[in-house]
Amino acid sequence: MMFPMSKYYSYNPLVLGDFILGGPFGTTTDVTDGAIYQYDPNAYTVALVKEGTNNMNSLSEANQPDKIRNFVMVSYRQIVEDLHKGEGEYLKSLLDEMKIPNEKRVEMTKKIKGLSEAYTDIPVFADHVVELSDQK
């Protein structure tokens, strides 16, 4: 399954100095090698898999808490956006993965939103969502 990534970068202000000192030629390298962008260091996560396997194999073999944790880690920003809207595909997918029945989804959404406000560190938030899933 592919997870779309949103834009998690801004323009690097140091490129302006390259433009002033070197003109268009000074910024050509910055544009071609990506230095024009300043990436958010908190926006990326890396999933490690055993040598000789691929990510799809490890996800299908993972237990339910690991699947939930991985989904939250990879989709954190989109889940938080959905929580603020009160609905969305990522939130629905999370609740599906947690196996939350329809009659408890509103209550669980409120609890997850509270966790997202209390724990802004992505791995910590993911761990608390897994714990919440175990309590359902």
Written as one letter, the residue type at 135 is: Q
Res. 2 pLDDT band, cuts 50 70 90:
very low
CA angle, 123 as apex, 110 and 40 as ends, to 5°? 100
Domain boundaries, the chain: 9-39, 55-135
The pLDDT > 90 percentage for the chain reads 43
pTM score of the predicted model: 0.59
Looking at residues 72-76, what average pLDDT do you find?
Answer: 91
Q: Are 105 and 86 in contact (CB under 8 A)?
A: no
pLDDT tens, residue by residue, 111-132: 999 999 999 889 899 999 999 9
